[in-house]
Structure 1
Amino acid sequence: MQATQHISREQLAKIVEAIFGQGEVIVKEASSRYDSPARAFSGTEALNHDLDDDATPGFRFYSIYYPEAGGHVYERRIELIPEKCDGHTHRFKQEGWGLIRLQCRSRAQGTIECNIAVNSEVRAANWSDAYPDMKDPAEWDWNVVKSKAGRLVRLLRKLGQQSSNKPQHPTA
Protein backbone atom coordinates (compact mmCIF):
# COMPACT_ATOMS: atom_id res chain seq x y z
CA MET A 1 0.00 0.00 0.00
CA GLN A 2 1.37 3.37 -0.92
CA ALA A 3 0.52 6.87 -2.07
CA THR A 4 2.50 9.80 -3.40
CA GLN A 5 1.11 13.34 -3.47
CA HIS A 6 2.39 16.89 -3.81
CA ILE A 7 1.35 18.81 -0.71
CA SER A 8 2.24 21.99 1.15
CA ARG A 9 4.39 22.16 4.28
CA GLU A 10 1.25 23.01 6.28
CA GLN A 11 -0.42 19.85 4.98
CA LEU A 12 2.65 17.80 5.84
CA ALA A 13 2.22 18.98 9.45
CA LYS A 14 -1.21 17.28 9.39
CA ILE A 15 0.44 14.02 8.33
CA VAL A 16 2.91 14.37 11.22
CA GLU A 17 0.02 14.95 13.66
CA ALA A 18 -1.74 11.85 12.33
CA ILE A 19 1.40 9.72 12.76
CA PHE A 20 1.62 10.61 16.45
CA GLY A 21 -2.15 10.59 16.95
CA GLN A 22 -2.57 6.83 16.51
CA GLY A 23 -1.19 5.63 19.85
CA GLU A 24 2.31 4.62 20.86
CA VAL A 25 4.69 5.11 17.96
CA ILE A 26 8.43 5.06 17.30
CA VAL A 27 9.63 7.32 14.50
CA LYS A 28 13.25 7.20 13.36
CA GLU A 29 15.34 8.12 10.38
CA ALA A 30 14.93 5.21 7.97
CA SER A 31 18.56 5.60 6.98
CA SER A 32 20.93 7.41 9.31
CA ARG A 33 23.46 10.05 8.55
CA TYR A 34 27.02 8.83 7.95
CA ASP A 35 28.82 7.33 10.95
CA SER A 36 25.82 7.91 13.25
CA PRO A 37 22.94 5.90 14.66
CA ALA A 38 19.47 6.70 13.38
CA ARG A 39 17.91 9.64 15.17
CA ALA A 40 14.56 9.13 16.89
CA PHE A 41 11.77 11.72 17.00
CA SER A 42 9.73 11.79 20.20
CA GLY A 43 6.74 13.79 19.00
CA THR A 44 5.26 16.16 16.45
CA GLU A 45 7.49 19.06 17.47
CA ALA A 46 10.71 17.05 17.03
CA LEU A 47 9.70 15.60 13.66
CA ASN A 48 8.43 18.95 12.35
CA HIS A 49 11.70 20.56 13.46
CA ASP A 50 13.67 17.97 11.47
CA LEU A 51 11.47 18.52 8.42
CA ASP A 52 12.17 22.27 8.66
CA ASP A 53 15.94 21.89 9.20
CA ASP A 54 17.66 23.86 6.44
CA ALA A 55 21.04 22.28 7.25
CA THR A 56 20.08 19.19 5.18
CA PRO A 57 17.59 20.36 2.54
CA GLY A 58 15.92 18.20 -0.04
CA PHE A 59 15.06 14.66 1.00
CA ARG A 60 13.85 13.15 4.29
CA PHE A 61 13.16 9.44 4.92
CA TYR A 62 11.55 8.07 8.10
CA SER A 63 10.45 4.73 9.52
CA ILE A 64 7.24 4.58 11.53
CA TYR A 65 6.68 1.67 13.90
CA TYR A 66 3.58 1.07 16.00
CA PRO A 67 4.59 -1.43 18.72
CA GLU A 68 1.05 -2.85 18.91
CA ALA A 69 1.72 -4.31 15.43
CA GLY A 70 4.33 -6.64 16.95
CA GLY A 71 6.88 -7.98 14.52
CA HIS A 72 10.64 -7.75 14.46
CA VAL A 73 12.33 -4.37 13.96
CA TYR A 74 16.05 -3.80 14.04
CA GLU A 75 18.76 -1.39 12.99
CA ARG A 76 21.11 -2.83 10.34
CA ARG A 77 24.61 -1.46 10.03
CA ILE A 78 25.64 -0.77 6.44
CA GLU A 79 29.37 -0.75 5.79
CA LEU A 80 30.52 1.92 3.34
CA ILE A 81 33.61 2.21 1.18
CA PRO A 82 35.36 5.23 2.74
CA GLU A 83 37.10 6.18 -0.50
CA LYS A 84 33.72 6.62 -2.16
CA CYS A 85 31.99 8.36 0.77
CA ASP A 86 34.39 11.14 1.81
CA GLY A 87 35.95 8.91 4.46
CA HIS A 88 32.70 7.77 6.06
CA THR A 89 32.62 4.14 7.14
CA HIS A 90 29.02 3.24 7.94
CA ARG A 91 25.41 4.22 8.43
CA PHE A 92 22.33 2.48 9.85
CA LYS A 93 19.04 1.46 8.28
CA GLN A 94 15.77 0.57 10.01
CA GLU A 95 14.45 -2.85 8.97
CA GLY A 96 11.11 -4.59 9.57
CA TRP A 97 8.39 -6.05 7.36
CA GLY A 98 5.61 -3.89 8.78
CA LEU A 99 7.45 -0.58 9.05
CA ILE A 100 5.62 2.32 7.46
CA ARG A 101 7.90 4.57 5.41
CA LEU A 102 7.49 8.32 5.02
CA GLN A 103 9.53 10.03 2.30
CA CYS A 104 9.49 13.79 1.79
CA ARG A 105 11.23 15.56 -1.07
CA SER A 106 11.19 19.35 -1.38
CA ARG A 107 9.92 20.65 -4.69
CA ALA A 108 9.71 24.02 -6.38
CA GLN A 109 7.24 26.68 -5.24
CA GLY A 110 7.00 25.35 -1.69
CA THR A 111 5.50 21.96 -2.45
CA ILE A 112 6.67 18.67 -1.01
CA GLU A 113 6.47 15.34 -2.77
CA CYS A 114 5.29 13.07 0.03
CA ASN A 115 5.20 9.27 -0.19
CA ILE A 116 3.83 6.85 2.39
CA ALA A 117 4.45 3.15 1.78
CA VAL A 118 4.27 -0.16 3.63
CA ASN A 119 4.73 -3.80 2.67
CA SER A 120 1.68 -6.00 2.39
CA GLU A 121 1.47 -9.30 4.23
CA VAL A 122 1.63 -11.15 0.88
CA ARG A 123 4.71 -9.25 -0.28
CA ALA A 124 6.47 -9.86 3.04
CA ALA A 125 5.69 -13.58 2.89
CA ASN A 126 6.91 -13.80 -0.72
CA TRP A 127 10.23 -12.13 0.10
CA SER A 128 10.86 -13.51 3.60
CA ASP A 129 13.26 -16.25 2.45
CA ALA A 130 15.46 -13.63 0.78
CA TYR A 131 15.71 -11.57 4.00
CA PRO A 132 16.02 -14.00 6.94
CA ASP A 133 17.31 -11.25 9.29
CA MET A 134 13.87 -9.64 9.15
CA LYS A 135 12.38 -12.82 10.72
CA ASP A 136 8.97 -14.30 10.06
CA PRO A 137 6.40 -11.84 8.67
CA ALA A 138 3.74 -13.80 10.57
CA GLU A 139 5.06 -12.13 13.77
CA TRP A 140 3.32 -8.94 12.61
CA ASP A 141 -0.31 -8.10 13.29
CA TRP A 142 -1.07 -7.15 9.69
CA ASN A 143 -4.52 -5.82 10.58
CA VAL A 144 -2.83 -3.19 12.76
CA VAL A 145 -0.24 -2.42 10.05
CA LYS A 146 -2.96 -2.03 7.40
CA SER A 147 -5.12 0.10 9.69
CA LYS A 148 -2.34 2.51 10.70
CA ALA A 149 -0.84 2.80 7.21
CA GLY A 150 -4.27 3.01 5.59
CA ARG A 151 -5.24 5.97 7.75
CA LEU A 152 -2.06 7.83 6.77
CA VAL A 153 -2.41 6.98 3.07
CA ARG A 154 -6.06 8.12 3.00
CA LEU A 155 -5.13 11.40 4.68
CA LEU A 156 -2.27 11.96 2.23
CA ARG A 157 -4.54 11.33 -0.76
CA LYS A 158 -7.16 13.70 0.67
CA LEU A 159 -4.56 16.43 1.24
CA GLY A 160 -3.12 15.91 -2.24
CA GLN A 161 -6.59 16.26 -3.74
CA GLN A 162 -7.10 19.50 -1.81
CA SER A 163 -3.78 20.81 -3.14
CA SER A 164 -4.68 20.01 -6.73
CA ASN A 165 -8.03 21.80 -6.36
CA LYS A 166 -6.43 25.06 -5.19
CA PRO A 167 -6.42 27.83 -7.78
CA GLN A 168 -3.00 28.40 -9.32
CA HIS A 169 -1.60 31.91 -8.94
CA PRO A 170 0.22 33.10 -12.05
CA THR A 171 3.74 34.35 -11.55
CA ALA A 172 4.49 37.76 -13.01
Structure 2
Amino acid sequence: NQNLTIAVLIILFLSVGLVLFLVRKPKHLNIEEQEESQQQCIDNMLNSAKQGHYQLTLLLLNINHINTMDLAFIIPRLKHTLREQDKLFRHNTDEIIIILPHTSPIGAARVATQIEQVLSEWKTALKVNIGIAGLQQLDTFDVLVKKAVINQLNKIKSQETSYSHDEN
Protein backbone atom coordinates (compact mmCIF):
# COMPACT_ATOMS: atom_id res chain seq x y z
CA ASN A 1 0.00 0.00 0.00
CA GLN A 2 2.87 2.40 0.77
CA ASN A 3 4.44 1.90 -2.66
CA LEU A 4 1.12 2.53 -4.34
CA THR A 5 0.54 5.70 -2.29
CA ILE A 6 4.04 7.01 -3.10
CA ALA A 7 3.55 6.28 -6.82
CA VAL A 8 0.18 8.12 -6.82
CA LEU A 9 1.73 11.13 -5.02
CA ILE A 10 4.62 11.28 -7.50
CA ILE A 11 2.21 11.13 -10.44
CA LEU A 12 0.05 13.81 -8.81
CA PHE A 13 3.02 16.14 -8.25
CA LEU A 14 4.27 15.60 -11.81
CA SER A 15 0.84 16.32 -13.31
CA VAL A 16 0.45 19.49 -11.18
CA GLY A 17 3.93 20.58 -12.24
CA LEU A 18 3.08 19.94 -15.90
CA VAL A 19 -0.16 21.95 -15.64
CA LEU A 20 1.67 24.85 -13.97
CA PHE A 21 4.38 24.73 -16.64
CA LEU A 22 1.83 24.86 -19.47
CA VAL A 23 -0.32 27.57 -17.87
CA ARG A 24 2.40 29.95 -16.75
CA LYS A 25 2.53 33.26 -18.52
CA PRO A 26 5.43 33.96 -20.86
CA LYS A 27 8.05 36.35 -19.55
CA HIS A 28 7.85 39.87 -20.87
CA LEU A 29 10.76 40.72 -23.10
CA ASN A 30 12.89 43.61 -22.05
CA ILE A 31 13.09 46.59 -24.39
CA GLU A 32 16.32 45.50 -26.09
CA GLU A 33 14.94 42.02 -26.81
CA GLN A 34 11.73 43.55 -28.19
CA GLU A 35 13.72 45.81 -30.50
CA GLU A 36 15.81 42.86 -31.69
CA SER A 37 12.75 40.71 -32.36
CA GLN A 38 11.06 43.67 -34.09
CA GLN A 39 14.12 44.21 -36.29
CA GLN A 40 14.27 40.49 -37.07
CA CYS A 41 10.61 40.52 -38.07
CA ILE A 42 11.17 43.53 -40.33
CA ASP A 43 14.27 41.97 -41.91
CA ASN A 44 12.39 38.70 -42.47
CA MET A 45 9.54 40.54 -44.19
CA LEU A 46 11.95 42.44 -46.45
CA ASN A 47 13.94 39.32 -47.33
CA SER A 48 10.77 37.36 -48.01
CA ALA A 49 9.50 40.07 -50.36
CA LYS A 50 12.82 40.19 -52.20
CA GLN A 51 13.05 36.43 -52.56
CA GLY A 52 9.41 36.09 -53.57
CA HIS A 53 9.64 39.05 -55.95
CA TYR A 54 6.48 40.64 -54.59
CA GLN A 55 5.77 44.25 -53.75
CA LEU A 56 6.20 45.60 -50.26
CA THR A 57 5.59 49.15 -49.12
CA LEU A 58 6.59 50.93 -45.94
CA LEU A 59 4.54 53.71 -44.35
CA LEU A 60 6.20 56.13 -41.94
CA LEU A 61 4.00 58.12 -39.56
CA ASN A 62 5.43 61.00 -37.58
CA ILE A 63 3.61 60.94 -34.24
CA ASN A 64 5.59 63.52 -32.29
CA HIS A 65 2.57 65.84 -32.07
CA ILE A 66 0.23 63.11 -30.76
CA ASN A 67 -0.24 62.86 -27.01
CA THR A 68 1.41 59.76 -25.54
CA MET A 69 -1.78 58.89 -23.65
CA ASP A 70 -3.73 58.89 -26.92
CA LEU A 71 -1.30 56.44 -28.53
CA ALA A 72 -2.58 53.68 -26.26
CA PHE A 73 -5.94 54.04 -28.04
CA ILE A 74 -4.70 55.01 -31.50
CA ILE A 75 -2.32 52.09 -32.08
CA PRO A 76 -4.96 49.35 -31.55
CA ARG A 77 -7.34 51.32 -33.77
CA LEU A 78 -4.68 51.54 -36.48
CA LYS A 79 -4.00 47.80 -36.21
CA HIS A 80 -7.71 47.18 -36.62
CA THR A 81 -7.75 49.10 -39.93
CA LEU A 82 -4.83 47.10 -41.33
CA ARG A 83 -4.91 43.66 -42.89
CA GLU A 84 -3.74 40.64 -40.94
CA GLN A 85 -0.43 40.41 -42.83
CA ASP A 86 0.34 44.12 -42.35
CA LYS A 87 2.65 44.89 -39.44
CA LEU A 88 2.79 48.00 -37.28
CA PHE A 89 5.95 48.81 -35.33
CA ARG A 90 6.92 51.62 -33.01
CA HIS A 91 10.17 52.70 -34.68
CA ASN A 92 11.12 55.25 -32.04
CA THR A 93 9.33 57.71 -29.79
CA ASP A 94 8.36 59.92 -32.74
CA GLU A 95 7.61 57.42 -35.50
CA ILE A 96 5.42 54.46 -36.30
CA ILE A 97 6.30 52.18 -39.19
CA ILE A 98 3.73 50.10 -41.02
CA ILE A 99 4.90 47.42 -43.43
CA LEU A 100 2.44 46.41 -46.10
CA PRO A 101 3.42 43.20 -47.92
CA HIS A 102 1.88 42.55 -51.35
CA THR A 103 1.06 46.26 -51.65
CA SER A 104 2.07 48.75 -54.31
CA PRO A 105 2.73 52.39 -53.47
CA ILE A 106 -0.68 53.21 -55.00
CA GLY A 107 -2.38 50.75 -52.65
CA ALA A 108 -0.31 52.12 -49.78
CA ALA A 109 -1.62 55.62 -50.56
CA ARG A 110 -5.15 54.26 -50.05
CA VAL A 111 -4.11 52.75 -46.72
CA ALA A 112 -2.53 56.09 -45.78
CA THR A 113 -5.89 57.78 -46.42
CA GLN A 114 -7.58 55.29 -44.08
CA ILE A 115 -4.91 55.94 -41.44
CA GLU A 116 -5.41 59.71 -41.77
CA GLN A 117 -9.13 59.17 -41.16
CA VAL A 118 -8.39 57.20 -37.98
CA LEU A 119 -5.98 59.87 -36.76
CA SER A 120 -8.46 62.64 -37.53
CA GLU A 121 -10.79 61.08 -34.94
CA TRP A 122 -8.38 62.34 -32.28
CA LYS A 123 -8.72 65.94 -33.43
CA THR A 124 -5.02 66.53 -33.89
CA ALA A 125 -4.36 70.12 -34.88
CA LEU A 126 -1.63 69.20 -37.35
CA LYS A 127 -2.14 67.12 -40.44
CA VAL A 128 -0.19 63.88 -40.24
CA ASN A 129 2.13 63.41 -43.16
CA ILE A 130 2.64 59.78 -43.98
CA GLY A 131 5.78 58.88 -45.90
CA ILE A 132 5.48 56.07 -48.42
CA ALA A 133 8.39 53.98 -49.74
CA GLY A 134 8.22 51.02 -52.10
CA LEU A 135 10.79 48.22 -51.76
CA GLN A 136 13.35 47.75 -54.52
CA GLN A 137 15.54 44.65 -54.77
CA LEU A 138 18.68 46.24 -53.25
CA ASP A 139 16.92 48.28 -50.54
CA THR A 140 17.58 47.75 -46.87
CA PHE A 141 15.33 48.79 -44.02
CA ASP A 142 17.34 51.97 -43.47
CA VAL A 143 17.06 52.88 -47.16
CA LEU A 144 13.29 52.36 -47.04
CA VAL A 145 13.00 54.61 -43.99
CA LYS A 146 15.07 57.30 -45.74
CA LYS A 147 12.85 57.06 -48.83
CA ALA A 148 9.77 57.44 -46.64
CA VAL A 149 11.27 60.47 -44.87
CA ILE A 150 12.04 62.08 -48.24
CA ASN A 151 8.47 61.36 -49.34
CA GLN A 152 7.18 63.02 -46.14
CA LEU A 153 9.37 66.07 -46.72
CA ASN A 154 8.19 66.35 -50.33
CA LYS A 155 4.57 66.27 -49.15
CA ILE A 156 5.26 68.99 -46.58
CA LYS A 157 7.03 71.08 -49.20
CA SER A 158 4.15 70.70 -51.68
CA GLN A 159 1.65 71.65 -48.95
CA GLU A 160 3.67 74.75 -48.10
CA THR A 161 3.85 75.65 -51.79
CA SER A 162 0.08 75.24 -52.18
CA TYR A 163 -0.51 77.38 -49.06
CA SER A 164 1.70 80.14 -50.43
CA HIS A 165 -0.15 80.01 -53.78
CA ASP A 166 -3.49 80.17 -51.93
CA GLU A 167 -2.35 83.25 -50.01
CA ASN A 168 -1.40 85.04 -53.23
TM-score, normalized by length of structure 1? 0.29
Greater relative CO (CA pairs within 8 A, separation 6+): 1
TM-score, normalized by length of structure 2? 0.29
Between Structure 1 and Structure 2, which shows a larger proportion of strand residues?
A: 1
Instruction: Pick the structure with greater CA Rg.
Output: 2
